[in-house]
């Protein structure tokens, strides 16, 4: 059985990937995160590990001997990256160096999660995998640096760039635009959303499908794994409000400048998914379909 190790398994995306691969039932699964297992289940071996501890990470890898490593571990908060630059470099870049070295020496297939924030977002066209990264903030800088290391290493690897990933997180995981809009508007609270940042929001289930597709043929390269619709954050919020029938007047449209966020973010960072469609057979769901899935009885969190 193929041994797969998922790093960042307590994170929003890492845990979804773990649960999804668990449901396939044909993999030998190992999961690892900095803190204790957020929602223990049968079917995988969980280890609490700080991936910035080189010695521990190396001996863990030698013990597990994975065939495939999926790296969903990161300092993913923009604020945390700006405030703790050396820590974010340790997690987002230095640990990737070690993983690359291990993958090279042991012929491991490496799957790494990355982001649209590697781009500056100065132009309105969707970005393709051939476009040159030029990050605006420190988070983007760390992610672009890790990508560069992976690509230059020539190891067998796939880099999956995702963006504004939405879905149902577990208790204790960070929220996303979908949960923010749903949870605030359902209580009649006001939310402020920007209309000057454009994205191709990604349903987390589609990220899991993309990971399965990449694993199937161990397809190498950079892939944009995003949704099929390109819209502003405020338009996305209105779509969610409308779907639930919530009061749209409680959505206050604003601008990035007015919100007073001092971290620079790309304005237009939609990702073209043509390459993933063609090479992987990736076919993401529309926002409407994703909302239908998220509100289907089996997916409602009680």
Ligand X SMILES: NC(=O)c1ccc[n+]([C@@H]2O[C@H](COP(=O)([O-])OP(=O)(O)OC[C@H]3O[C@@H](n4cnc5c(N)ncnc54)[C@H](OP(=O)(O)O)[C@@H]3O)[C@@H](O)[C@H]2O)c1
For residue 30, the SS3 value is strand
Residue 245 CB, shortest distance to ligand X, in Å, is 26
Q: Which of residues 81-100 bind ligand X (CB under 6 A)?
A: 91
The smaller minimum CB distance to ligand X, of residues 52 and 106, is found at 52
Nearest approach in angstroms of CB 188 to ligand X is: 26
Nearer residue to ligand X within complex by CB, 69 or 72: 72
Q: Minimum distance from CB of 31 to ligand X (Å)?
A: 10
Q: Does 162 bind ligand X (CB under 6 A)?
A: yes
- Dist. CA 299–CA 87, nearest whole Å: 35
Please give the residues from 7 up to 66 whose contact with ligand X meets the rule CB under 6 A.
8, 10-14, 33-35, 50-52
DSSP 8-state code for residue 253: E
Which residue, among 152, 177, 284, has the nearest Cα to 229 in the 3D structure?
Answer: 284
Residue of 68, 69, 74, 144 that binds ligand X (CB under 6 A): 74
CB of 154 to ligand X, least distance (A): 21
Q: Which is nearer to ligand X, 191 or 250 (CB)?
A: 191
Q: How far is it, in rounded angstroms, from Cα 135 to Cα 142?
A: 9
Residue with smaller CB distance to ligand X, 35 or 86: 35
Does 276 contact ligand X by CB under 6 A?
no
Residues contacting ligand X: total by CB under 6 A: 27
- Of 168, 187, 164, 137, the closest CA to residue 235 belongs to 164
Distance CA 86, CA 83 (A): 9
Query: Which window, 58-66, 70-78, 100-108, 242-250, contacts ligand X (CB under 6 A)?
Result: 70-78
Q: Which ranges of the chain does DSSP label H, i.e. alpha helix?
A: 12-24, 54-64, 78-83, 85-89, 95-106, 138-153, 177-186, 204-217, 233-244, 256-259, 274-280, 287-294
Q: Should residue 115 be labelled a site residue for ligand X when binding is judged by CB under 6 A?
A: yes
Nearest-CB residue to ligand X?
11
Residues 6+ apart with CB under 8 A from 302: none
Nearer to ligand X, 109 or 117 (CB): 117
Provide, rounded to whole angstroms, the least separation between the CB of residue 184 and ligand X: 18
User: If binding is defined by CB under 6 A, does position 76 make contact with ligand X?
Assistant: yes
Do the strands 198-199 and 231-232 form a parallel or antiparallel pair, or are they unpaired? Answer: antiparallel
DSSP 126-139: PB-TTSPP--SSHH
Q: How far is the CB of 91 from ligand X (least distance, A)?
A: 4
Instruction: List residues near ligand X by CB under 6 A.
Output: 8, 10-14, 33-35, 50-52, 72-76, 91, 113, 115, 143, 162-165, 173-174
């Amino acid at each position: 059985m193929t041994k797969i190790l998922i790093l960042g398994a307590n994170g929003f995306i890492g845990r979804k990937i773990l649960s999804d691969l668990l449901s396939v039932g044909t993999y030998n699964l190992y999961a690892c995160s900095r803190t204790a297992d957020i929602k223990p289940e049968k079917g995988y071996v969980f280890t609490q590990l700080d991936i910035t501890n080189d010695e521990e990470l190396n001996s863990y890898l030698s013990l597990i001997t994975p065939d495939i490593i999926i790296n969903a571990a990161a300092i993913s908060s923009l604020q945390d990256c700006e405030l703790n630059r050396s820590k974010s470099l340790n997690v987002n870049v230095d640990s990737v160096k070690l993983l690359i070295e291990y993958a090279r020496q042991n012929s491991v297939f490496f799957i790494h999660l990355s982001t649209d924030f590697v781009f500056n977002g100065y132009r309105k066209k969707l970005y393709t995998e051939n476009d040159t990264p030029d990050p605006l903030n420190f988070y983007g800088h760390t992610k672009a640096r890790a990508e560069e290391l992976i690509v230059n290493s020539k190891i067998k690897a796939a880099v999956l760039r995702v963006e504004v990933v939405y879905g149902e997180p577990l208790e204790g995981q960070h929220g996303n635009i979908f949960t923010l809009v749903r949870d605030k508007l359902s209580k009649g609270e006001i939310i402020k959303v920007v209309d000057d940042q454009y994205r191709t929001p990604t349903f987390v289930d589609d990220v899991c499908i993309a990971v399965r597709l990449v694993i199937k043929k161990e397809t190498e390269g950079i892939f944009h794994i995003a949704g099929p619709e390109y819209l502003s954050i405020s338009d996305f919020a209105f779509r969610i409000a409308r779907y639930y029938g919530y009061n749209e007047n409680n959505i206050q449209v604003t601008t990035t400048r007015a919100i007073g966020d001092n971290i620079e973010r790309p304005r237009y960072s939609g990702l073209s998914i043509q390459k993933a469609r063609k090479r992987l057979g990736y076919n993401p769901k529309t926002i409407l379909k994703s909302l239908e899935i998220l509100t289907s009885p089996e997916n409602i969190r009680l």
